[in-house]
Every structure is written in C-alpha cells, then in structure tokens.
Amino acid sequence: MFDFSIVTSWIHQMLTSLMPEGLAVFIECVVIGVCIVLMYAILAIILIYMERKVCAFFQCRLGPNRVGKYGSLQVFCDVFKMLTKEIFTPKGADRFLYNLAPYMVILASFLTFACLPMNKGLEVLDFNVGIFFLLAASSIGVVGILLAGWSSNNKFSLIGAMRSGAQIVSYELSVGMSILTMVVLTGTLQISEIVSGQADGWLIFKGHIPAVIAFIIYLIAGNAECNRGPFDLPEAESELTAGYHTEYSGMHFGFYYLAEYLNLFIVAAIAATVFLGGWMPLHIAGLDGFNTAMDYIPGVVWFFGKAFFVVFLMMWMRWTFPRLRIDQILTLEWKYLIPLSMLNLLLMSIVVAYELHF
C-alpha cells in the first residue's frame, strides 16, 4: 500500500529549501484548502446525481434524463440557477446572524471532512484525540441551524430549527457511543491508528456481535444526524414549507443543500473508516494469494468504495421508510437507542477485557 506521507514530506522539504518555513507552511495550507474545496464540490455533484437516480430506481422512475447523457448535466444546471438567484434578507431578520448561519454549517462540514484518512499518509488532520475532535467539529453544525431558524423571523423556520436541534443533540449521543464502542476495541482515539489496526481484519468482523450492533445503531443515528428521511422532520415540506432554511435563497440556500449531502458522505466515510477498515483492503487469514491481489487495489479506491456503499445503504433507508413524527423520533432515541448503545458499550468492554475478539 503506497504511503502518501513520502510525497507530502518531499514537497515540504522542497518548499522549505526555497523559502522560510512559515511561508512554506502557509502555501501548503492554502493548497490543502483549495483541494478540500474542490473535492467538496465534486463529491456534492456526485451525491446529488446519485440521490436522484437511486430515488428514481426505488420509485420506478427514470430520474434526470434531459440535460446531458442520462441527465448527467442536470446538477450543473441547478448550480448555475442557484448562483444566479438573488440573495435577500427578510424584513425583521437579524441580518448578521442570518448571514452567518450558512457559513457555520459549512465550517462544521469542512472541519469534519478534513479528519477523514483517504489513504495511508493522506489525511489533513490526525490528532491523538482525533475521534473527540471529529465529534466536536461535527457538533458545530447544529449552531448554524439554530441560528438560521431564530434569525429568520419566521415561525416555520424557528419550529424547524427547534426540531433539528432536539433531534441532532439527541442522536449525537448514539453516534458517539457507537464510535466509542469501536474505540474500546482498538484502544486508541487516533483515526489513523484505528485504520492501521484493521490490517488483519475489519472491526465489524473482529468485534463480534457488539460491533455489528454498533454499526446498525450508527447507521440509524447517522441518518437522523443528517436530517434525512425518515428523520427529516426539521424540513417537513408538508408542515414547515422548508424548515429552518425556508427564508434562504441563492447560494445561502446552496450552502445548506451542499452541507446536507456532504454530511451524508462524512457520516458514511466515518462508518467506512471505523467499522469497515477505511482505506485498508479486505484480508482473509490463510488466503495469501487473495490478500496479495487485494493489496494491488489503491487505498483511495477502497475508501471511496466503502463510503459510497454506506451512502447507498442510507439512501435505501430514506426511500424505504415513511417519515416519523417528532415524538416517535425522540422516543426511538431516548427509550431504545441510548439504552441499547450503553449496554452494547458495556458488552464490548467485556469482550475486550476477556479477549473474546479476533
């Protein structure tokens, strides 16, 4: 498996030999930021197109098929339309907070996206407490949603924001405990170390039943974290027009639209990293020839393949189950998922203490 840290170290040494180290680090940060923005935009385009086609498949439709071959240019047309729309501020809105809210959501998405290791040595942020940082950064997004609902001076936006705040804060507990279950199994909070520890087997297989339960809980809670069906009460069109972003137009609305799909990918990528080995290939003990063949597949391919597999599972959930009521959503979390997550965490602790895992 190729180690990208060799390339990044060589680039850093070359830049520091040509200029002061501070300037070299600044240029590296700018280049990395541009790369993240480009990847952010490309993934959003792919995910929006994928959502429409998967939705059409489940509903026995064709989906976009007019603009470009198989409707492949439809997303670009939507982006152009969004860029040309006027950005306005409603009467009575808090102008500063109203304009700040979309950037808070995008900031949280960017910070979390930067924590994902896409290959060996190919990660932007890698701390010894990476899991805690990831959970903390992802929590910033709910602030942008609450600000949007309150500052819009619209009762539908406010109700949607309150629903979203209650839902996200609640389901963050299940997400956190599911990931901590895997932290107990690996014994580290550093994301790169968690991936490296899966060289001899993915955690969903090594952790027995507790790992499978944690994975299922994570998928359910992750869908709720993204405000996606059947947990899309904050954006219930039949009740709240468009929820917390009712009053937004142009690219301010576009930021929420982008963040929704990138958060979908981030949730899927975290699942792929923590449960399915991240960029690690599939290895089966005793099958040396098979393992050698799997090693020829680049880690980036493994990472994105697993992430998009989980994305498909989450889209499958969205287009299969009907929308729940807000009381049913909170009942599911507080009465079922949280107690189950706590028991599962205790069960994983027992598995690790008595070395019952593979």
**Which whole number is the average pLDDT over 253-280?**
90
Give backbone dihedrals phi and psi of 320, rounded to 5 degrees, phi first: -110, -45
Q: Which pLDDT does position 274 carry in this prediction?
A: 93
Question: Residue 220 and residue 261: Cα distance in Å, rounded?
Answer: 16
The pLDDT tens digits for 163-176 are: 888 888 889 999 99
For residues 311 and 265, the answer to whether their CB atoms sit within 8 Å is yes
SS3 180: helix
Return the closest-CA partner of residue 8 out of 24, 22, 23: 24
Q: Which pLDDT does position 182 carry in this prediction?
A: 93
User: Domain map of the chain by residue range?
Assistant: 1-33, 46-84, 101-353
Tokens of 183: 């932290």
**Which whole number is the average pLDDT over 203-216?**
91
Task: Report the mean per-residue pLDDT for the chain.
Answer: 87
The pLDDT tens digits for 223-261 are: 988 888 788 876 666 666 667 878 888 888 888 888 888
**Which whole number is the average pLDDT over 133-140?**
89
Q: Which pLDDT does position 269 carry in this prediction?
A: 94
Q: Which of 211-220, 222-231, 301-310, 341-350 has the lowest mean pLDDT?
A: 222-231
Q: Give the C-alpha distances (Å, rounded to integers) separating 162 from 27, 135, 301.
A: 41, 21, 39
- Count of CB atoms within 10 A of residue 86's CB? 6
Question: Residue 331 and residue 337: Cα distance in Å, rounded?
Answer: 9
For residues 144 and 308, the answer to whether their CB atoms sit within 8 Å is no
Q: Which pLDDT does position 239 carry in this prediction?
A: 60
Whether the per-residue pLDDT at 335 is higher than 90: the answer is yes
Give DSSP secondary structure letters for 232-282: -GGG-HHHHTTGGGTT--HHHHHHHHHHHHHHHHHHHHHHHHHTS-TTPPP
* Confidence tier at 358 by pLDDT (50, 70, 90): low
* Confidence tier at 339 by pLDDT (50, 70, 90): very high
How many percent of the chain have pLDDT more than 70? 97
The pLDDT tens digits for 41-75 are: 899 899 999 999 999 999 889 888 888 888 889 98
Question: Residue 246 and residue 240: Cα distance in Å, rounded?
Answer: 8
Give DSSP secondary structure letters for 8-65: HHHHHHHHHHHS-HHHHHHHHHHHHHHHHHHHHHHHHHHHHHHHHHHHHHHTT---S-
For residues 158 and 242, the answer to whether their CB atoms sit within 8 Å is no
First to last CA, the chain: 23
For residues 311 and 262, the answer to whether their CB atoms sit within 8 Å is no
Compute the radius of gyration of the chain from its Cα atoms. Answer: 21
Q: Which pLDDT does position 218 carry in this prediction?
A: 95
Give the containing element (helix H, strand E) for 289.
helix 288-295
Whether the per-residue pLDDT at 357 is higher than 80: the answer is no
